[in-house]
Amino acid sequence: MKSILHKLRTSVIVAVVLVLAGGCNLDVSNPNSATEDDVLGSADGIRAFVVGMQGTYSGDAYPAVALNTGITTRELAINTTFSSLIELEAGGTALPPENSRTNAIWNNFTRVISMCDQILASAPNVITDEAELSGIVALTHVYKAMSLGYLIQSFPQAPINAGDNAEFSSREAVLAEAISLLDDALTLITNTPPSSNFNNNIMLAGFDLENTIHAMLARYNLLAGNYQDAIDASNEVDPTATSVFTFDGSVSRNPIYVGVTSGDEGQEYAPRDGFGTPLTESGDERIDFYLVSANLTSTPNGFDIDDLEGFFSNPSESIPVYLPGEMNLIRAEAYVQTDQPGLAVNEIDAIRTKQASQDPFGVGANLPAYSGGTDDASLLEEIYYQRSAEMYLSGMRFEDARRLGRPVPPNNPPLTAERNRVYYPYPTQERQNNTNTPENPPI
């Protein structure tokens, strides 16, 4: 953890832990412990809270979406008899709103959004260094934007702000808010560069704030259909830069490694052969980057499964916030949507022919140049496969399948279906506590 945590009073640390656990009130009050207001009312408390927010996102929210949507889109197979995972792999109308795995996506991202809202409300009142405040607010904008993005990729509507009986917003409004937050973050760090104290003690190691802002602007402008803005933002990302979530392997552990190798009942999740898509191309070297052939089948549904490598091979492995290759594929898709197929093919080939040595993370397909059709359907199918392989377990395939026109599953999809849901149902607990909760999507 950052050194700032070691400087905090024990009572403040305890209070932050309670906040991260959900901010619950204890039945028996402790007059010596700090309240949530105490934490958010002090500079050290805010700093610790920001560190905790980042850990909540990378350790809880990201793995919830990567692992569980990975089952829905066949990137992963369940390898346990837990009923929640059996329901998730079946999908369709068999997936109830009480499912704990889809609820984990909702609960973790709305928790991060709530933490971000608390930081944004409190930090300007207690952080007096403008350069430190700039970094804190910009970073918080980025994490809220990413949380809104994953939430609206999993559910058809979502609240923009935390709160009791929060109002739900449309997909278009949520994406617009994410883009606005990122624009504000970029303006902040441009006008007032973050302080060294922020960079060294508050923002977690390995996270590249400026490049992440540009990458997320490219991502969410693409999802919003703002194709030229997506192209422009993607061109601002340094292709040699890396931005990662880091784990020490002890206190914080790579959560995908944990989910695949040592769940509550052994190995709960397992990678499907060939990224779990029928489009996998022989000779793609990304297969050997991410997967190790294991000659095993999953329980209970008997899918061919492999061992996991890449960014998930040990508990201290860092996980990319985004992959540089995503920027090429964002441009490729935007060029298809703006009737520029030649430029789209150029970007596709930049990914297909890339060797591992040409990528800062070592991700390279080393395939021959694209030789398929240049009609929209052919190009979008190729982009879907390239995203599936390049960005394996990034939590993006659920969104990609809808946007890029993959087959829509029936109400009771067979296990051979490419995906088994279009969106997830809202948690029953959310519906019980929030009268604004929309009707559940059919599948």
The residue-averaged pLDDT of 358-385 equals: 98
Identify the helix (H) or strand (E) that includes residue 374.
none
Q: How far apart are CA 220 and CA 269, in angstroms?
A: 28
pLDDT of residue 35: 63
Within 10 A of 235 (CB to CB), how many other CB atoms are there?
13
Q: How far apart are CA 410 and CA 196, in angstroms?
A: 53
Name the residue with higher pLDDT: 20 or 412: 412
In order of start, what are the domains of the chain with their CATH numbers?
3-433 (1.25.40.390)
DSSP 8-state secondary structure symbol assigned to residue 316:
T
* Structure-block tokens of residue 194: 């973050």
pLDDT of residue 436: 98
pLDDT of residue 34: 56
Q: Is the pLDDT of residue 383 over 80?
A: yes
pLDDT of residue 266: 59
Q: In whole numbers, what is the pLDDT of the chain averaged over residues?
A: 92
The 8 Å CB, 24+ separation contacts for 79-86 are: 79/266, 79/267, 79/268, 79/269, 79/270, 79/298, 79/299, 79/305, 80/263, 80/265, 80/266, 80/267, 80/268, 80/299, 81/265, 81/299, 81/300, 82/264, 82/265, 82/268, 85/268, 85/269, 86/300
Percent of the chain's residues with pLDDT above 90: 89
Task: Determine the residue type at 117.
Answer: D
Q: Is the pLDDT of residue 278 over 70?
A: yes
pLDDT tens-digit profile of 329-364?
999 999 999 999 999 999 999 999 999 999 999 999
Percent of the chain's residues with pLDDT above 70: 91
**If pLDDT is split at 50, 70 and 90, which confidence band does 267 have?**
confident
The 8 Å CB, 24+ separation contacts for 126-130 are: 126/40, 126/41, 126/42, 126/43, 126/45, 126/46, 127/43, 127/46, 128/43, 129/195, 129/197, 130/192
pLDDT tens-digit profile of 80-117?
999 999 999 999 999 999 999 999 999 999 999 999 99
Contacts of 171 (CB under 8 A, 6+ apart): 152, 156, 157
Name the residue with higher pLDDT: 425 or 262: 425
pLDDT of residue 131: 98
Sequence length of the chain is 443
pLDDT of residue 367: 98
